[in-house]
């Protein structure tokens, strides 16, 4: 039996906590948690949708009942197909986080395995993510490679 399970609506506050752990570890990450209250209702609703384009996989913390040890979240997006991805479905991985007290136990990898299988089952032709230096060895071991991508962003 796998330690990994699909996150449920009642996990929303813990999902936000682990997302903040990830944000805090990023260069320039905003340590403010004021946004959690506003984000909680939408996240709770999305975690209740089992057939949509959003999924979160978690491991319960073995030492802290009611807490999560690890989290991986992903979405599937449609863009017009192309060579190598003719159906145009792309998986996006984000919010990969492990509670600092539960690291180095294989939880993030187990969650990633479940998320990648979820992407495969839904027909995603590729999966993209942004890797921190600390997580890059995990992603490389799973087969991810660097892509020379001139990504830009505009905050609205």
Domains and CATH numbers, the chain: 4-141 (3.40.630.30)
Q: Give per-residue pLDDT as tens, 119-150.
A: 999 999 999 998 888 888 999 999 999 888 77
Q: Kindly report the backbone phi and psi dihedral angles of residue 130, in degrees, each rounded to the nearest multiple of 5, phi listed first.
A: -110, 125
**What is the rounded radius of gyration, in angstroms, for the C-alpha atoms of the chain?**
16
Structure-block tokens of residue 6: 């699909």
Q: Give per-residue pLDDT as tens, 85-96.
A: 999 999 999 999
Burial of 8 (0-12, 13-18, 19+ CB in 10 A): middle
Q: Give per-residue pLDDT as tens, 39-58.
A: 999 999 999 998 999 999 99
Predicted confidence band of residue 32 (pLDDT cuts 50, 70, 90): confident
* Beta bridge partner(s), residue 82: 85
Q: What is the pLDDT of residue 88?
A: 94
Strand order in the sheet with 89-98: 4-6, 54-60, 68-78, 89-98, 126-128
Give all strands (DSSP E) within the chain, no chain letters.
Answer: 4-6, 54-60, 68-78, 89-98, 126-128
Q: Can you tell me the distance from the alpha carbon of 114 to that of 4, in angstroms, rounded to the nearest whole number?
A: 7
What percentage of residues in the chain have a pLDDT greater than 70? 97
112 and 94 Cβ atoms separated by less than 8 Å:
no
């Amino acid at each position: 039996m796998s330690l990994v399970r699909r996150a449920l609506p009642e996990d929303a506050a813990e999902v936000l906590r682990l997302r903040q752990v990830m944000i805090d570890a990023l260069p320039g990450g905003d340590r403010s948690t004021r946004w959690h209250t506003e984000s909680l209702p939408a996240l709770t609703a999305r975690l209740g949708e089992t057939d949509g384009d959003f999924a979160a996989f978690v491991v319960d913390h073995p030492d802290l009942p009611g807490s999560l040890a690890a989290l991986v979240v992903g979405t599937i997006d449609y863009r017009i197909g192309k060579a190598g991805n003719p159906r145009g479905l792309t998986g996006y991985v984000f919010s990969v986080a492990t509670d600092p007290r539960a690291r180095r136990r294989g939880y993030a990898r187990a969650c990633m395995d479940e998320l990648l299988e979820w992407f495969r089952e839904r027909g995603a032709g590729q999966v993209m993510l942004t890797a921190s230096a600390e997580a890059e060895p995990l992603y490389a071991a799973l087969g991810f490679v660097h892509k020379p991508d001139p990504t830009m962003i505009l905050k609205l």
